[in-house]
Amino acid sequence: MNASSFSVICILLFSSIILYAQEEVDFKKDFRYNISKSQTAPKIDGILDDPIWNSTEIAGNFWQKSPYFEEGANPKTEVRLTYDENYLYVGAKCYQTEDVIIESLKRDNFWRNDGIAIILDPLDSRANSVLFGTSAVGVQWDAVRTETSDINSDWSNKWFVETQITDEYWSAEFAIPFRILRYNQTLKEWGLNFVRNVTYANQYHNWTAVPEGFWPPNPAFSGALVWDNPPTKKKGNFNLIPFITSSVNKSVGEDTEYKINGGLDAKLAITSTLNMDFTVNPDFSQIEADELVTNLTRFDISLPEKRTFFLENADLFADFGTGGMRPFFSRRIGLDENFQSVPILYGLRLTGNVTQDIRLGVMNIQSRSTDTALGQNQSAVSIKKQFGRSFIQGMFLNRQAFDGTETVEGDYGRNASVEGLYASENGKLGIWGATHASFKEGYSKNNFVFNTGFQYTNSTWEIITDNIFFQENYFADMGFTARVNNYDAARDTIIRVGYNSNYSSIDYKIRPQKKKITLHRFGIENLTLLNQDLSFNEQWNRLRYFISFINTSEFRIRYDFNELELLFPFSFTGDVPLPAQRYRTSSLQLQFDSDRRKKISYTLSAKSGGFYNGRLSTMEANINYRIQPWGNFSLGYQINDLNFPDPYGSATIRALVSKVEIGFNKNLLWTTLFQFVDQSDFMGINSRLQWRFSPMSDLFLVFVDNYDIIPNPNTISSNNRALILKLNYWY
């Protein structure tokens, strides 16, 4: 099946579905909560015994969202809201017939614990929202959600929650400061929803009737939070977060190095919807270590951003582009190609809403010159105009090298992007288009990327088609481009090759009612790539079937057929490179995920089939042992067996990852990650003790011990060992 025929099928199915679209629910009309100001603040202790709760409305009659959709969720949930001059208060009773299940005491681990969350859309955009949740034992979760990048749980802020567990229910009380919310003080209605996890029954409940096929936090299906008087702008809305670090570092062949360092992070609300972040001499040593993965492709892969400074309103920069083509990727800032820290002198970000429907992002970051790299000044400006849930947005990026005192002539990279998205008000249809250009010394032609596509989703169907036209001289110095760089093993060099790609997929879902099986999902995917001259490059087709069970376990089967015209010789084994010729292969993959609610849970997967002119067999096993609520002990092992005919060699690539999480309580957590990845010739330990002695204020003790693995002879050599102490305090 080629790209054009597959796209035609997508369009025909899409058209037929539109003709039989179901009657829509008016969520803002049918789900309304009237909130009134309180003269006295409730005591935040998790016990809803304050008199003020007796005079508030109750948001009840929740809908069951999954495993199947129906009105009248059971067990029942009751949520109450009130506010005073400084805080929005949430009181919730979550009735339960079984003991609560808590998988972790780690912050932001929400979806696998019994918990409840409020979803707020303060600008009533129906596209962006902020979420505040808690587990039944009071572990916080906060996140932001955007139309284009869904949920980011790495965003955190300072708010308060306490819980209590009784024989009949567990209850929670939230206090959310208005100063951390970005809202329009003239707007009388906000978007509102709630989502509850009932883990023992494998259920999610929503206050509004979020349709099947959509994730519960989607603000397109929010009800209305109706204020008696909208909250006013809060003065003095700023936070100072000074920190100090002390470290002892030992590298092979070098003397022990002792360091003491300090810096400052600051947050300032310019208006109630526009926020400034500022950092001086930032240090990210406390951020959890990346979990490395085995890469059996010919191209680079990306790892997620976790650094707090880059997270608020991150979509204003990071959501430009699609898939493996992003003009802005924040991990290119302050980290080198090996993900090692590059010293940053300062960073400044101004992000948020200028008006009700115009969002602005401005960023400037200056890194320091080192012995091996020039300093860089990296700037970004973006603007986004909303039209309901649709938008038009533009961005300009500039990277300029400095030698310490002045700019380096000709060493720059600039990018410009314009994108548009039409998103239907019911959240089902999206149509998009984009143009991206780069400007670099010596490159004035073939420097564009174009992108078009659409997506349709309802309770039964999900249809996607996405087209990228990537010219070879488009550079993204501050971004990520996965496919344009091709390694030529014969000449040991990187060659840039433009491409045209079409990705299309169709998924069909069947949801049995009240059965052991909760979901059958059938899917077909096609990716077709042509070179810039429209000659054939690559095509793969995938058939897949997923089956989900009421006990949370899942079985997956995938069959792939791949055809590839390899442009340049490439080796996966270090032996003679595979020749540049056409390859046709097929493979089968099976995966089973066990009941994640059990003390012992596991995932098993196996894949076998052709791989270029040889064969690849992959087996992976992950097992987790949980001691509720304080301990998680996991071990994962992957082995990839590559066999090629002579003289192209064979190889066995292994990866071992072990993670231990111990929560002494919800404010004292110890996490240790051990990794062995022989493809990267790496073995290392990252152990982090975190004590949250005050809200958003932490003391970290981090131990790092990394080793290089030298294949011939088989030896292990320590390349870095460090002990780091970091203290930050949120004023």
Any idea what the CATH number is for the domain that residue 193 is in?
Answer: 2.60.40.1190
pLDDT at 16: 46
Strands 600-611 and 614-627: antiparallel
Q: Which residues of the chain have pLDDT under 50?
A: 1, 3-4, 8-9, 11-23
Residue 418 lies inside a defined structural domain of this protein: no
- Beta carbons of 144 and 119 less than 8 angstroms apart: no
- Beta carbons of 139 and 166 less than 8 angstroms apart: no
- Is the bond leading into 75 cis (omega within 30 degrees of zero)? yes
Instruction: Give me the domain span that covers residue 185.
Output: 31-227
Residue 85 lies inside a defined structural domain of this protein: yes
Secondary structure in 3-state letters for 168-199: CEEEEEEEEEHHHCCCCCCCCEEEEEEEEEEH
Residue-wise pLDDT tens digits, 666-725: 999 999 999 998 887 888 999 999 999 888 888 999 998 888 877 666 667 777 788 999
Residue 386 lies inside a defined structural domain of this protein: no
Per-chain mean pLDDT for the chain: 89
Residue 66 lies inside a defined structural domain of this protein: yes
| DSSP-derived 3-state class of residue 380 | strand
Strands 223-227 and 32-35: parallel
pLDDT at 12: 46
pLDDT at 668: 95
* Measured distance CA(681)–CA(610) in Å, rounded: 26
pLDDT at 340: 66
Residue 82 lies inside a defined structural domain of this protein: yes
Residue 89 lies inside a defined structural domain of this protein: yes
pTM (2 d.p.): 0.86
pLDDT at 217: 85
- Tracing tokens 């597959």 back to the chain, one arrives at 6
- Beta carbons of 684 and 706 less than 8 angstroms apart: yes
Taking the alpha carbons at both ends of the chain, their separation in whole angstroms is 60
Q: How far is CA 376 from CA 278, 305, 441, in A?
A: 17, 20, 16
Q: Tell me which DSSP letter residue 59 carries.
A: B
* Measured distance CA(233)–CA(271) in Å, rounded: 8
- Residues paired with 547 in a beta bridge: 520, 555
Residue-wise pLDDT tens digits, 84-121: 999 999 999 999 989 999 999 988 889 989 999 999 99
- Beta carbons of 96 and 75 less than 8 angstroms apart: yes
Torsion of CA 149, 152, 155, 161, to 10 degrees: 130
Residue 362 lies inside a defined structural domain of this protein: no
- Tracing tokens 């039409």 back to the chain, one arrives at 422
- Beta carbons of 190 and 181 less than 8 angstroms apart: no
* Measured distance CA(485)–CA(710) in Å, rounded: 27
pLDDT at 144: 86
Q: How many domains in the chain? A: 1
pLDDT at 176: 96
Residue 208 lies inside a defined structural domain of this protein: yes
- Tracing tokens 């969350």 back to the chain, one arrives at 117
